[in-house]
Amino acid sequence: MSAKLPKLPIYLDHAATTACDPRVVEAMLPYFTEKFGNPGSRNHSFGWAAEEAVTKARHQVAELIGADPKEIIFTSGATESNNLAIKGAANMYAKKPAGQTQRGHIISVSHEHKAVLDPCKRLEKEGFEVTLIDPQSDGTVTREMIETVIRDDTILVTVMWANNEIGTFNEIPEIGALCHEKGIIFHTDATQWVGKMPTNVKEDNVDLLSLSGHKLYGPKGVGALYVRRRRPRVRLMALQEGGGQERGFRSGTLNVTGIVGLGKACELCAADMDSERQRLLNLRNKLEAAITNALDVVQINGHPDKRLAHLTNISFGFVEGESLMMALKEIAMSSGSACTSASLEPSYVLKALGIGDDLAHSSLRISMGRWTTEEEIDYAAEKIIEAVNKLRDLSPLYDMHNEGIDITKIEWAAH
Amino acid sequence: MAYSEKVIEHYEKPRNVGTFGTQKEIKEATNIGVGLVGAPECGDVMQLQIKVNDDTGLIEDAKFKCFGCGSAIASSSLATEWLKGKTLDEGMEIKNTEIVEELALPPVKIHCSVLAEDAIKSAIADYKQKNNKD
Ligand SMILES: Cc1ncc(COP(=O)(O)O)c(C=O)c1O
Ligand code: FES
């Protein structure tokens, strides 16, 4: 049985980035040309028009996450939001001034995005202490896990809402409640979560939340940081100083077109979030069922239920990821894999989950989106199965497995 | 990663895929030499087998299996082609640099060719050891 041939190539890498929705582009266009004003220009209509557009966008973003519009700071994306939140909070709540040690304790997780890990590393060099915990083997992080590492001098906890490689999500409301009990600032990198899952920063006890436009059908290079204003009122040390825009948290003339696009994108995500999630979940179930029915030694990574509906991360035993991608050139996906000898590194996220080397080298991350069709998923499933079978015919490890040899017991000459 | 046409060609139609028997049978066959190099945790394992004609001393057949990237698959496929009809000494002469050149491998993929050279050497050594030659 051959699936109906969809238009190629197929894009199944929405966790990396999404196309801008045409309605988003349409909303942005006037702000490049006739409505080009600087929202900081307070004394003419060009400025007022831009200001009005930014205000509208601020409402749209706030609405999506249950915030007050005053609590939204526009940035250049999640990387900047994370940096501003983590470095800004650490420096503001530091126990000792710059140049000293023991300035405060920060907690994060080893499978966070580099845009969280690297700012934490920087702070470590600047006199803060950082504890990185490992997620559970299903990829999740619980309140209890954070509770056991909190210290008297803990000033900041940062835990991502949903992981970008495996899609699993963490006990954010519970961890937030814990932090509030202890008077610790709580940040979450919600780049992969927002727009896909219902979010309410008030009820979910979040103090600081990062999001990005290009993961939710908005433009690249724009994002936002939610900064809680009440109980507690969170203060931050700005990274970027100048004209005092965004209440001084983030100076620089606002990216009006990008902000308008982000606002529109948020509004569109809110409009059909539940039905879209269900649609994608059905597609994912179909994809996973097709693959697991056709192939043995396949592992779906992460928690079975506590994960984003549009994303799956699958390890195929005895097949190497890069060669698998090569067989699937017509399907754009990510491979959390490849040989350690080349410049390509195996996934630190899968390693943090304690996934064995044999499986960590052979995983695909497949992430669907707004325009993914059932034909595309049927086609992808068929091609993936075909490619894995082809590569297993080539794989000495699969032979050994079938002969009952345990490959972990062989003395390999690692190089 | 952009691959050369030759890598793609070998990857799509690999030559001489297979083995001359189960791991156990291969171990016992004195006319067969096996090279098993690499490691699963490194993301590459190459298995190369040569069948040697006891009378002529020529490698009359070669087979491979490979767990690795496209370049590793192409390198081992090419190695089996080159080995056929060669003497053991000639086989020992095959250099990874020749594989790199033939397949136009980029620098990050040089180690894939090294792996193929190692597999050749270790298959020949295995045959010699089984037959108490040098
Ligand atoms: C979890 C997570 N955090 C941060 C980022 C970085 O976002 P941006 O590209 O907007 O800086 C990404 C996207 O790659 C992500 O997935
Ligand atoms: S086998 Fe390591 S990159 Fe080719």
CA distance B126 to B130: 6
| A10-18+272-409 CATH | 3.90.1150.10
Q: pLDDT at position A337, please? A: 47
Higher pLDDT residue, A64 or A404? A64
Q: Which of A205, A89, A108 is nearest to A158 (CA)?
A: A108
Confidence bin at A353 (pLDDT 50/70/90): confident
Q: pLDDT at position A166, please? A: 94
Does residue A116 sit in helix, strand or coil? helix
Mean pLDDT of A328-351: 70
Do A238 and A223 touch, CB atoms closer than 8 A? no
| A22-268 CATH | 3.40.640.10
Higher pLDDT residue, A357 or B107? B107
CA distance B91 to A64: 67
Name the burial class of residue A175, with classes exposed (0-12), middle (13-18) and buried (19+) by CB atoms within 10 angstroms of its CB.
Answer: buried
Task: For chain B, give the percent of residues with pLDDT over 90.
Answer: 83
Q: pLDDT at position A358, please? A: 66
Q: How far is CA A63 from the centre of its chain?
A: 20
pLDDT digits (tens, 9 = 90+) for B3-27: 899 999 999 999 999 999 988 899 9
Confidence bin at A343 (pLDDT 50/70/90): very low
Task: For chain A, give the percent of residues with pLDDT over 90.
Answer: 87
pLDDT digits (tens, 9 = 90+) for A270-280: 999 999 999 99
Q: What is the largest CA-CA distance in chain B?
A: 45
Confidence bin at A289 (pLDDT 50/70/90): very high
Q: pLDDT at position B134, please? A: 62
d(CA B117, nearest CA chain A) in Å: 14
Pairing of strands A129-133, A105-109: parallel
Rounded to a whole number, what is the distance in angstroms from the first to the last CA of chain B? 43
CA distance A200 to A223: 18
Q: Is the pLDDT of residue A287 over 70?
A: yes
Higher pLDDT residue, A404 or A68? A68
Bridge partners of B52, per DSSP, are B59
CB contact under 8 A, A342 and B69: yes
Q: Within 10 Å of residue A113's Cβ, how many Cβ atoms? A: 19
Task: Find out whether the beta carbon of A75 lies less than 6 Å from any atom of ligand 1.
Answer: no
Residue from the list A342, A403, A413 with its beta carbon closest to the beta carbon of B39: A413
Structure tokens given for B46: 């190459």
Q: Long-range contact list for A397-401, CB < 8 A, 24+ apart?
A: A397/A317, A397/A318, A397/A358, A397/B40, A397/B45, A397/B67, A398/A317, A398/A318, A398/A319, A398/B67, A399/B19, A399/B23, A399/B65, A400/B23, A401/A297, A401/A317, A401/A318
Q: How far is CA A263 from the centre of its chain?
A: 19
Chain A residues whose CB is inside 8 A of the B107 CB are none
The DSSP annotation for A148-199 comes to: TT--TTEEEEE--SB-TTT-BB--HHHHHHHHHHHT-EEEEE-TTTBTTB--
Q: Is the pLDDT of residue A356 over 80?
A: no
CA distance A75 to A91: 19
Q: Is the pLDDT of residue A338 over 60?
A: no
Q: What is the mean pLDDT of chain A?
A: 94
φ and ψ at residue A367, rounded to 5 degrees: -130, 125
| Ramachandran category for residue B121: left, alpha or beta (phi over 0 → left; psi -120 to 50 → alpha) | alpha
CA distance A217 to A372: 13
CA distance A107 to A150: 8
Confidence bin at A415 (pLDDT 50/70/90): low
Sole residue written with tokens 């497995």: A401
Residue A323 touches partner B, C-beta closer than 8 Å: yes
Q: pLDDT at position A347, please? A: 75
CB contact under 8 A, B23 and A405: yes
Q: CATH 3.90.1150.10 occupies which residues in chain A? A: 10-18+272-409
Does residue B60 sit in helix, strand or coil? strand
Residue from the list A344, A395, A413 with its beta carbon closest to the beta carbon of B67: A395
Cβ neighbours for B9, distance < 8 A, ≥ 6 positions apart: B74
Q: Which of A315, A318, A319, A320 to mutate to test the interface with B (most CBs of B within 10 A)?
A: A320
Predicted TM-score of the model (pTM): 0.93
Going from the Cα of A165 to the center of ligand 1, the distance in angstroms, rounded, reads 11
Q: CATH 3.40.640.10 occupies which residues in chain A? A: 22-268
Mean pLDDT of A61-85: 98
Cβ neighbours for A230, distance < 8 A, ≥ 6 positions apart: none
Do A414 and B39 touch, CB atoms closer than 8 A? yes
Amino acid at A140: T
